[in-house]
Structure 1
């Protein structure tokens, strides 16, 4: 159980993601933080990362790993494809 509210997690998640963005940019990619709900961090991969065969590995072993190291070991990252933002909005309802 994550001992922080989604609102408390937001600044820490944003700071941690800033560490990762330069690495993604080296390959022509990026990510956007859509929000946090119940300890799940919703992002949208951008640029070359969107649709890349390695994007799943990038999320789990890059983004999620960094968030777990920096913040809490139970955080989970979920990629929302462009046009499917309703998945984030409806999560947990």
Structure 2
């Protein structure tokens, strides 16, 4: 097995490409070792030490390192953990994966459907290239609330991505959208 790595716009996060499917459907975000209880793969990666977050995408794993740790120090152990996981035959996630977007009931249902469709077709594929994901969290009085995951969480360029990219896109196609704001996990 040959695992490629790619840098992301977030210097604390690397994207690992194992050359095979990671998640069959959706994504999974593990911002801490405790949150990784349902993922044997994420647990292995956290066990290497120096890791502060693991994000699983369709064909990639993004890993965020602790602030005081060098990639030269933790990258070989992470590569080994990913390789061991695939050789073990264990599942990536135990149980069903959660839905990507938050549910939204109410009078703005049509607007929310349009927002989710634009996110799924235009935004999420581009963000996945950088090792992250952005999902819908809510819509209230013209403000769209989005959750940033993986390499996007804590990325220095995430505010610019939200304001200049996603906000402009949504406002162009959906006049009811006035602003986009990030939400914490």
Secondary structure of residue in 1 paired with 2:123: helix
Calculate the TM-score normalised by the size of structure 2.
0.40
Specify the structure having the higher radius of gyration (Cα): 2
Listed as ranges, the gaps of 5+ residues in structure 1 are 83-93
Secondary structure of residue in 1 paired with 2:166: helix
Displacement of 1:32 after TM fit? Answer: 1.3
Runs (4+) off by over 3 Å? none
Listed as ranges, the gaps of 5+ residues in structure 2 are 1-106
Aligned length in residues = 78
Calculate the TM-score normalised by the size of structure 1.
0.76
| Alignment map for 1:62-73 (pairs within 5 Å) | 62-72=165-175
The higher-RCO structure (CA 8 Å, 6+ apart) is 1
Displacement of 1:8 after TM fit? Answer: 2.7
- Change in 2 beyond 3 A, CA 1:74/1:36: closer
Let me know the Cα RMSD of the aligned residues.
1.4
Higher helix share: 1
